[in-house]
Amino acid sequence: MESYTQNQLVTKKEQVYFALILLLSILVYLVLAISIIGMIVILVIIGLSLFIHGLTIGGIRRNGVKINDEQFPEIYAKAKVIASDMGLEKMPDIYVVESEGILNAFATKYFKRNIVVLYSGIFDMIEYEAEKEVLFILAHEFAHLQRKHVLVNIFLLPVMLIPFLGNAYLRACEYTCDRYAAYYVKSFDAAKNALTMLAIGKELYPKVNQNLYMKQLESESGFFVWLNEKLSTHPHLPKRIYALSTFFAADTTKKLKEPKRQVWIGLGSFFLAVTILSIGVIFGFKLLEKSSLFSEMVLGVEETTPLMNAAASDDAELIEEYLAEEAEIEAQDIDGSTALLWAVQMNSYEAAVTLLENGADPNTVDFYEGTPLLTTLYNEDIEMAQLLIDYGADPSITDSEGMSAYDYALEYESAEFIELFENN
- pLDDT per residue over 90-114, tens digit each? 999 999 999 887 889 999 988 888 9
The percentage of residues in the chain with a pLDDT greater than 70, rounded to a whole number, is: 94
pLDDT greater than 90 at residue 409: no
Per-residue burial over 259-271, b if 16 or more Cβ lie within 10 Å, else e, is: eeeebeebeeeee
3-state SS track over the chain? CCCCCHHHHCCHHHHHHHHHHHHHHHHHHHHHHHCHHHHHHHHHHHHHHHHHHHHHHHHHHHHCEEECCCCCHHHHHHHHHHHHHHCCCCCCEEEEECCCCCCCEEEEEECCEEEEEEEHHHHHHHHHCCHHHHHHHHHHHHHHHHCCHHHHHHHCHHHHCCCCHHHHHHHHHHHHHHHHHHHHHCCHHHHHHHHHHHHHCCCCHHHCCHHHHHCHHHHCCCHHHHHHHHCCCCCCHHHHHHHHHHHHCHHHCCCCCCCCHHHHHHHHHHHHHHHHHHHHHHHHHHHHHHHHHHHHHHHCCCCCCHHHHHHHCCCHHHHHHHHHCCCCCCCCCCCCCCHHHHHHHCCCHHHHHHHHHCCCCCCCCCCCCCCHHHHHHHHCCHHHHHHHHHCCCCCCCECCCCCEHHHHHHHHCCHHHHHHHHCC
pLDDT greater than 60 at residue 267: yes
- Residue 288: predicted pLDDT: 55
How many other CB atoms are found less than 10 A from the CB of residue 301? Answer: 17
**Confidence tier at 286 by pLDDT (50, 70, 90):** low
Mean pLDDT check: name the lowest of 303-307, 344-348, 415-419: 303-307
Vertex 214, ends 182 and 256: CA angle to 5°? Answer: 105
**Confidence tier at 285 by pLDDT (50, 70, 90):** low
Across 254-280, average pLDDT = 80
Task: Return d(Cα 13, Cα 17) in angstroms, integer.
Answer: 6
Domains of the chain as residue ranges with CATH: 6-188 (3.30.2010.10), 306-422 (1.25.40.20)
pLDDT greater than 70 at residue 262: no
Contact 70, 62 (CB under 8 A): no
- Residue 275: predicted pLDDT: 85
Across 390-407, average pLDDT = 88
Mean pLDDT check: name the lowest of 64-68, 153-157, 190-194, 374-378: 153-157
Across 127-153, average pLDDT = 91
Across 66-70, average pLDDT = 96
Question: Between 290 and 6, where is the model more confident?
Answer: 6
Name the pairing type of β-strands 105-110 and 65-67: unpaired
- Residue 298: predicted pLDDT: 39
